[in-house]
Each structure stands twice: as C-alpha cells, then as structure tokens.
C-alpha cells in the first residue's frame, strides 16, 4: 500500500489540532464551578419569571380599573 504525501499531511495536521482538545482536563473543580454557575443562573431566571408572572395579574387589574374609571 502506497502512502501519499497529501494523506500524511492531512493526518498529521488533524492529529496536531485534535491533541490539545482531547488532552484538555479541567478536572472536577472546573466542572463543579460550572455546575454552580448554571444553578445560580437558573435560580435567577426562575426568580425573574416568577416576579413577572406575579406582576402580570396586578397590571391587568390596574388596567381594568383605569378603563372602568374612564
């Protein structure tokens, strides 16, 4: 089987660029920090959504009261 220089260059280039990606090891500390950040983001988003849902009925009631008073 004859190897072509082009194929060898392609394989070596792919291996060179793939090695740092595959070798990345941020460890469990990074994973825990990332999980904590995602949990905090979810908590903040949930709080924000709950506030908006709580304000929506009040705003509708105020709008109705303004229309009735007009």
Where are the domains positioned within the chain? 5-69
Distance in angstroms (rounded) separating the CA atoms of residues 12 and 57 = 63
pLDDT category at 67 given cuts 50, 70, 90 is low
CA dihedral over 59, 62, 67, 70, signed as positive or negative: negative
Q: Per-residue pLDDT for 65 more than 80?
A: no
In the chain, beta strands by DSSP E:
none
| Six-digit token string for 3 | 């190897």
In whole angstroms, what is the distance from residue 8 CA to residue 47 CA? 55
C-alpha 26, offset from chain centre: 18
pLDDT of residue 64: 64
pTM over 0.75: no
Q: What tokens appear for 2 in the block?
A: 């004859």
Q: What percent of the chain has pLDDT over 90?
A: 19
């Amino acid at each position: 089987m004859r190897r072509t220089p082009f194929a060898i260059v392609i394989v070596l280039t792919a291996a060179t660029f793939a090695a740092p990606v595959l070798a990345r090891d941020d460890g469990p500390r990074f994973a825990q920090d990332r999980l904590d950040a995602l949990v905090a983001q979810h908590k903040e988003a949930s709080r924000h959504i709950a506030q908006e849902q709580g304000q929506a009925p009040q705003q509708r009631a105020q709008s109705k009261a303004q229309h009735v008073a007009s």
